[in-house]
Structure 1
Amino acid sequence: MNDTKLQKIHFDRLKLKYKIGSTGNVTFDSFLYLILRKAELGMQVTELEIQWLTENRLFNCVDSISLQQYEAEEEKRLKSELMELRAKYRIPDNIELPIASPIDSVLWKLETNYKLANSDIEILRTHNLSETIALIKDIENFLKLKNKFKVTQGSNIFPEEPLYLILKKLSAKEELSDSEAEWLLNSGLQEVFETYQQQKNIRKAELEFLELKSKYQVDSYPETVISSKLYAILKKLDSGDTLNHKDGQWLKKKKLNSLIKLDEEQRISRLFIELKETYHATQHNDTKVCDIPTGDACSPQVRLSDHLFKVLIRMASCDTGVSKLLRIIQTFPEHFKSELREKDINWLTEQGLPETAAIAHKIHFQSLKSKYRIIGHNLPADPFYLIMLKLEREERLDPKQVVQLIEEDSLSKGGKIAIAHCRLEAIFYEQEYQRTGNKWNLPSASSNWRKACEPKKALKLTENLNWNKVREADLKSALLVTRGAAFRDLAQLEEAESCAMQAMESQPDNHQPYTLMGAICYDQGRYTEGDTWFDMAAKRGANDTDDEIERIVRMTKDKDKRIAVVEYLLNKDPKRYKWAKSDLN
Structure 2
Amino acid sequence: MIFDKHKELAQKYHVDDIASALVPSTSISNFLGELETSKISMMSRRFLAKNKFIALERFANGTINFDEYELLAKQEKVIRIMTIEKEKQEEAARKEKFQLELKAKYELQRKIERERQKALEKDPNYIRKQKLIKLKQKYDLDFYIEKNDYNRLMSLIDKIDKGHRITPEDIVWLTLSRDDLYRGYFTDSLNKKHHKNEAEHIIKEYEVKNDHWLAVNASSHYRKACEPKSAISILSKIKLDSITNKKLKSAICTTHGGALRDIAEWTNAISLGETAFSFTPDNFRPCTLLGAIYMETSHFELGQEWYRKAIDRGFSEKSVDDEIKSIFKKADENQKEALRNYLLKLDGHRYRWVNDKKL
Specify the TM-score bucket, using the shorter chain as the normaliser: 0.5 to 0.7
Q: Which residue of 1 aligns with 2:255?
A: 482
1:155 match: secondary structure: helix
Matches within 5 A, 1:231-380: 239-240=103-104, 271=110, 273-274=112-113, 305=118, 308=119, 311=121, 348-349=123-124, 357=125, 361-379=128-146, 380=149
* Residues in 2 aligned to 1:396 and 1:563: alpha-carbon distance in whole angstroms: 42
Matched residues in 1 for 2:225 and 2:330: separation?
15
Q: Is the 8 A contact 2:161 2:193 kept in 1?
A: no
2:152 to 362, 369, 383: 383
1:272–1:531 distance in 2 versus 1, CA, 3 Å: farther
Work out whether residues 426 and 448 of structure 1, in 8 Å CA contact, stay in contact via their aligned partners in 2: yes
Q: Could you say which residue in structure 2 is the equivalent of 1:503?
A: 276
Contact 2:291/2:306 (CA < 8 Å) preserved in 1?
yes
Partner of residue 560, structure 1: 334
Distance 1:532 1:541, change over 3 A: same
The one-character-per-residue Cα deviations of 1:37-90 (angstroms, maximum 9, x if unpaired) are xxxxxxxxxxxxxxxxxxxxxxxxxxxxxxxxxxxxxxxxxxxxxxxxxxxxxx
Residue 276 of structure 2 aligns with an amino acid whose one-letter code is A
Q: 1:487–1:495: 8 Å Cα contact kept in structure 2?
A: yes
Please give the alpha-carbon distance, in whole angstroms, between the structure 2 residues aligned to 1:478 and 1:397: 25
Deviation at 1:411, TM superposition (A): 3.2
1:574 aligned residue (331, 348, 352): 348
Residue 584 of structure 1, CA deviation:
8.2
- Separation in 2, partners of 1:455, 1:516: 15
Contact 1:562/1:583 (CA < 8 Å) preserved in 2?
Answer: no
2:216·2:235 contact (CA, 8 Å) conserved in 1? no
Structure 2: where are the runs of 5+ without partners? 1-67
Distance 1:240 1:468, change over 3 A: farther
Q: Secondary structure at the match of 1:397?
A: coil
3-state SS of 2:244 partner: coil
Q: 1:406 aligns with which of 148, 154, 175?
A: 175
Q: Partners in 2 of 1:508 and 1:454 — Cα distance?
A: 28
> Structure 1 residues 482 and 400 mapped into 2: Cα distance closer, same or farther (>3 Å)?
farther
Shift of 1:419: 1.0
Change (3 A) 1:582 1:154: same
Question: Equivalent residues in 2 for 1:463-542 (5 A)?
Answer: 463-542=236-315
CA contact (8 A) 1:412 1:418 kept: no
Structure number having the greater helix percentage: 2
For the residues of structure 2 that align with 1:472 and 1:271, how far apart are their CA atoms? 71
Alignment of 1:137-152 (within 5 A): none
Q: Secondary structure at the match of 2:212?
A: coil
- Using the aligned pairs only, state the percent identity: 25
Q: Is the 8 A contact 2:256 2:269 kept in 1?
A: yes
CA RMSD of aligned residues (A): 3.6
* Cα offset, 1:188, TM superposition: 9.4
State how many pairs are aligned. Answer: 280
Tell me the equivalent position of 1:155: 71
Contact 2:175 2:184 in 1 (8 A): yes
Separation (CA, whole Å) in 2 of partners of 1:200 and 1:520: 84
- Whole-Å separation in 2 of the counterparts to 1:575 and 1:516: 25
**Which residue in 2 is equivalent to 1:193?**
83
Given that 2:291 and 2:305 are in contact with CA atoms closer than 8 Å, whether structure 1 keeps it comes out as yes
Would the alpha carbon gap of residues 156 and 374 (structure 1) be closer, same or farther in structure 2, given more than 3 Å must change? closer
User: Within 5 Å, which residues of 2 pair with 1:100-111?
Assistant: none
Instruction: State the Cα deviation string for residues 260-302 of structure 1 (Å, max 9, x = none).
Output: xxxxxx7xx855632665xxx6xxxxxxxxxxxxxxxxxxxxx
Q: 1:546 aligns with which of 315, 321, 337?
A: 321
| Alignment correspondent of 1:395 | 164
Matched-pair contact (CA < 8 Å) for 2:249–2:276: yes
Q: What whole-Å deviation, never above 9, does each CA across 1:90-131 have from its counterpart, x for those lacking one?
A: xxxxxxxxxxxxxxxxxxxxxxxxxxxxxxxxxxxxxxxxxx
Whether 1:457 aligns to 2:230 is yes
User: Which protein has greater RCO, CA pairs closer than 8 Å, 6+ apart?
Assistant: 2
Query: Does the 8 Å CA contact 1:566/1:583 hold for their aligned counterparts?
Result: no
- The letter for the 1-side match of 2:136 is K
2:59 match: none
C-alpha spacing 1:156/1:520, structure 2 compared with 1 (3 Å):
closer
Contact 2:270 2:290 in 1 (8 A): yes
Instruction: State how far apart, in whole Å, the 1-side matches of 2:265 and 2:186 are.
Output: 24
Q: Secondary structure in 2 aligned to 1:440?
A: helix
Deviation at 1:423, TM superposition (A): 1.2
Question: CA shift at 1:388, angstroms?
Answer: 1.3
What secondary structure, in the 3-state scheme, does the structure 1 residue paired with 2:293 have? helix
